[in-house]
């Protein structure tokens, strides 16, 4: 048994979760966790909201809410989406509410400081007297010194593409209130990434196994590492430890610094709740633990460079990431998901009309694993109808309804003289069989989804070749053996389905008359001739019902029309 600590990127508590986020970082992680658990691994799945930072204070001010209320609202709303989709964390928390978070973040700061990885520096920055805050680059707008474009941002001019510094902008204004900011000097702490890379990070990364997109990005970044500020002048966040602030007040840890520490804080929170307060160390400070970060590609720098640098720099034997299966971006019907342009699928409406398990499966079969991909309603319909309803759902009903009619709704008997022949037929002659878990472990979820459908399709071939409805008249014993084989196969299918379609898998499990939770059954792997059957003959089957609803063309057209109507209205 191997120990795994799995994380999904902490979603920023400043807006809704959409299917793009789900496909990028949450659903694959959930499937990975469920699969490993069925395979007997020790897995902890940690997530929570990222709740600090200036964007949140601005959002809360705009809505007249306290920061705490504002992030709590998004925290709860995001959790509701995860619940709908069956994404189950062992702990879901938030960086502003997790009890250990403040102390732990400050401890990271102190230890990095003690170990010589922090640099203090005083610089001039723009300060808005109206909003009483220093302005981050993107919160300053002004006139571009290069092309005179009036809408230039503090970091870049969108017109000529020049890299800017806010201090270079002509007629700078605060993006929030329009006031002209003044220059003030301020002292901050910087993380010495260059030194951390020199001492350990480069070697560590070079020895790892990474997806091509991750390796390429990080190797470029490692060539030219600058120090990064880790503090900010504001009130919302984890305060810089008083014993290190040197009299400075009003400074907090910069949100990118405290956010990933949330993974650790939340693990500690989980351990406390379990009544084993030291158990978090098993996951974070045991060299054999495999730390897996599921993220979108925009987060590669943090999870493969900055956070590992922090984990190593505190010299507390923290494990560094083992794999970072960063996904590309997921779009919607040809365009980017966009809250501001109303280009999205309102999740509550979606769940009112559609089956969330089907959504899970469709998302998994279209994940942006190697390139950007997208949600297309036409493809959603195809997957829902062809792969799920026709291939998997119909397999179950064609077998089980026949048994209801002709075999008293019980698992038929396998006659010993048929076993070898039928094993050979289903295992070798009805199409290639593959273990979906192999692909899941390689982070190839699309392939795993395909394997699942292919394994079901093989049983359809088997049924057709043996035509039990004919055999029932000519050779009832052989018919029974054939249908016994089909029942067993459905049992395997239910277990193969469990990580992908947990609810449907359970429904199928119950239809077979199996007690308990299918997720508690061990992962079946691939069946081997002579030893793969386990259902007792005569076992009563459960009530047969259709597993998957079908989606007609009108429904699809209506969804696309609604999508476009929202965007234009």
Partner RNA sequence: GGCGAGGUAGCUCAGUCGGUUAGAGCACUGGCUUCAUAAGCCAGGUGUCGCGGGUUCGAGUCCCGCCCUCGCUACCA
Map the footprint of RNA across residues 282-311, applying CB under 7 A: 297-299, 301-302, 305
User: Taking contact as CB under 7 A, which single stretch among the options 78-86, 201-209, 248-256, 282-290 is the one that binds RNA?
Assistant: 248-256
* Residue choice 131, 328, 423, 559 for contact with RNA (CB under 7 A): 328
Binders in 536-565 for RNA, by CB under 7 A: 546-550
Binding mask 381-420 vs RNA (x if CB under 7 A, - otherwise)? -x---x--xxx-xx--xxx-xx--x---------------
**289 or 331: CB nearest RNA:** 331
d(CA 113, CA 538): 69
* Residue choice 136, 253, 264, 319 for contact with RNA (CB under 7 A): 136
d(CA 393, CA 374): 25
**368 or 524: CB nearest RNA:** 368
CA-wise closest residue to 491 among 466, 468, 467, 523: 523
d(CA 284, CA 268): 10
* Residue choice 193, 264, 324, 478 for contact with RNA (CB under 7 A): 193
Q: Which residues of 540-562 are buried (b: 16+ CB within 10 A; e: fewer)?
A: ebbebeebbeebeeeebeebeee
Asked if residue 183 binds RNA (CB under 7 A), the reply is no
Asked if residue 47 binds RNA (CB under 7 A), the reply is no
Give least dist CB 13 to RNA, A.
9
d(CA 132, CA 184): 12
Asked if residue 231 binds RNA (CB under 7 A), the reply is no
Binders in 474-503 for RNA, by CB under 7 A: none
DSSP 126: E
Asked if residue 139 binds RNA (CB under 7 A), the reply is yes
Give least dist CB 344 to RNA, A.
15
Give least dist CB 52 to RNA, A.
6
Q: Which tokens sit at 149?
A: 């474009």
Q: Where are the beta strands (DSSP E) in 328-420?
A: 330-332, 373-375
**277 or 546: CB nearest RNA:** 546
The DSSP string of 343-367 is BS--HHHHHHHS-HHHHHHHHHHT-
Binders in 331-350 for RNA, by CB under 7 A: 336
* Residue choice 204, 329, 350, 351 for contact with RNA (CB under 7 A): 329
H or E stretch including 8? Answer: strand 3-8
Give least dist CB 428 to RNA, A.
13
* Residue choice 221, 279, 320, 471 for contact with RNA (CB under 7 A): 221
User: Taking contact as CB under 7 A, which single stretch among the options 65-73, 170-178, 200-208, 362-370 is the one that binds RNA?
Assistant: 362-370
Binders in 153-182 for RNA, by CB under 7 A: 154-156, 161, 163
**35 or 385: CB nearest RNA:** 385
Binding mask 363-382 vs RNA (x if CB under 7 A, - otherwise)? ---x--xxxxx-----x--x
Contact between residue 71 and residue 53 where contact means Cβ atoms under 8 Å apart = no
**516 or 546: CB nearest RNA:** 546
Binding mask 417-456 vs RNA (x if CB under 7 A, - otherwise)? --------------x--------------x----------
Handedness of CA 529, 533, 538, 540 (dihedral sign): negative
**232 or 323: CB nearest RNA:** 232
Give least dist CB 300 to RNA, A.
7
CA-wise closest residue to 25 among 5, 57, 47: 47
* Residue choice 66, 171, 249, 469 for contact with RNA (CB under 7 A): 469
The DSSP string of 174-231 is ETTT-PPPEEEEEEEEEE-HHHHIIIIIHHHHHTS---HHHHHHHHHHHHS---EE-E
Contact between residue 94 and residue 49 where contact means Cβ atoms under 8 Å apart = yes
The DSSP string of 420-436 is HHHHHIIIIISS----H
d(CA 424, CA 530): 9
**62 or 276: CB nearest RNA:** 62
Contact between residue 140 and residue 149 where contact means Cβ atoms under 8 Å apart = no
3-class secondary structure, 12: strand
Binding mask 104-133 vs RNA (x if CB under 7 A, - otherwise)? ---------------------x--------
d(CA 478, CA 179): 85
Asked if residue 463 binds RNA (CB under 7 A), the reply is yes
User: Taking contact as CB under 7 A, which single stretch among the options 168-176, 241-249, 460-468, 510-518 is the one that binds RNA?
Assistant: 460-468
Q: In what order do the strands lie in the sheet with 118-128?
A: 133-134, 118-128, 182-191, 228-229
Asked if residue 61 binds RNA (CB under 7 A), the reply is no
3-class secondary structure, 19: helix
Dihedral pair phi/psi, residue 340, rounded to 5°: -70, -30
Give least dist CB 378 to RNA, A.
8
Binders in 250-279 for RNA, by CB under 7 A: 254-256, 259
- Number of shown-chain residues binding RNA (CB under 7 A): 79
**209 or 520: CB nearest RNA:** 209
Asked if residue 89 binds RNA (CB under 7 A), the reply is no
Contact between residue 422 and residue 481 where contact means Cβ atoms under 8 Å apart = yes
Give least dist CB 499 to RNA, A.
20
**206 or 216: CB nearest RNA:** 216
CA-wise closest residue to 512 among 483, 532, 542: 542
């Amino acid at each position: 048994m191997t120990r795994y600590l799995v994380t999904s990127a902490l979603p920023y508590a400043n807006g809704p979760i959409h299917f793009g986020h789900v496909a990028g970082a949450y659903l694959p992680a959930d499937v990975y966790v469920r699969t490993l658990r069925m395979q007997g691994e020790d897995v902890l799945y940690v997530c929570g909201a990222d709740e600090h930072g200036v964007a949140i204070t601005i959002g809360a001010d705009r809505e007249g809410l306290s920061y705490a209320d504002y992030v709590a609202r998004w925290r709860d709303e995001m959790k509701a989406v995860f619940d709908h989709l069956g994404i189950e964390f062992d702990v879901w928390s938030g960086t502003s509410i997790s009890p250990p978070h403040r102390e732990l973040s400050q401890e990271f700061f102190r230890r990095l400081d003690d170990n010589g990885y922090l640099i203090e520096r005083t610089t001039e920055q723009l300060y808005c007297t109206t909003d009483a805050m220093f302005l981050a680059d993107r919160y300053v707008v002004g006139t571009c010194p290069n092309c005179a474009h009036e809408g230039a941002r503090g970091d870049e001019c969108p017109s000529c593409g020049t890299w800017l510094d806010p201090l270079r902008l002509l007629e700078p204004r605060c993006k929030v209130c329009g006031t002209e900011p003044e220059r003030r000097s301020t002292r901050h702490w910087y993380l010495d990434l260059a030194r951390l890379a020199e001492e350990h990070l480069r070697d560590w990364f070079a020895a790892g196994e990474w997806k091509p997109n991750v390796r390429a990005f990080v190797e470029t970044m490692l060539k030219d590492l600058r120090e990064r500020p880790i503090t900010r002048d504001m009130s919302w966040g984890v305060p810089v430890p008083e014993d290190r602030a040197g009299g400075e007040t009003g400074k907090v840890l910069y949100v990118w610094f405290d956010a990933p520490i949330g993974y650790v804080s939340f693990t500690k929170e989980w351990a406390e709740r379990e009544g084993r307060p030291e158990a978090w160390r098993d996951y974070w400070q045991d060299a054999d633990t495999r730390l897996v970060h599921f993220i979108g590609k925009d987060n590669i720098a943090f999870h493969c460079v900055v956070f590992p640098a922090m984990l190593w720099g505190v010299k507390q034997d923290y494990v560094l990431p083992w794999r970072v299966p960063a996904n590309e971006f997921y779009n919607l019907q040809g365009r980017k998901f966009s809250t501001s342009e109303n280009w999205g699928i309102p999740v509550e409406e979606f769940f009112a009309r559609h089956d969330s398990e089907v959504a899970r499966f469709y998302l998994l079969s279209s994940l942006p694993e190697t390139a950007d991909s997208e949600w297309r309603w036409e493809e959603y319909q195809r997957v829902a109808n062809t792969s799920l309803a026709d291939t998997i759902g119909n397999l179950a009903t064609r077998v089980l309804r026949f048994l209801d009619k002709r075999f008293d709704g019980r698992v038929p008997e396998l006659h010993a003289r048929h076993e070898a022949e039928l094993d050979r037929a289903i295992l070798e002659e009805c199409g290639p069989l593959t273990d979906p878990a192999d692909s899941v472990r390689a982070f190839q979820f699309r392939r795993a989804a395909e394997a699942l459908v292919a394994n079901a399709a093989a049983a359809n071939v088997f049924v057709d070749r043996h035509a039990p409805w004919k055999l029932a008249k000519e050779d009832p014993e052989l018919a029974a053996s054939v249908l016994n084989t089909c029942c067993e196969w459905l049992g395997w299918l239910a277990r193969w389905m469990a990580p992908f379609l947990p609810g449907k898998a359970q429904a199928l499990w119950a239809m077979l008359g199996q007690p308990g939770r299918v997720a508690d059954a061990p992962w079946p792997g691939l069946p081997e001739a002579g030893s793969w059957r386990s259902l007792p003959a005569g076992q009563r089957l459960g009530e047969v019902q259709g597993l998957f609803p079908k989606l007609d063309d009108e429904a699809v057209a209506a969804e696309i029309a609604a999508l476009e109507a929202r965007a234009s209205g």
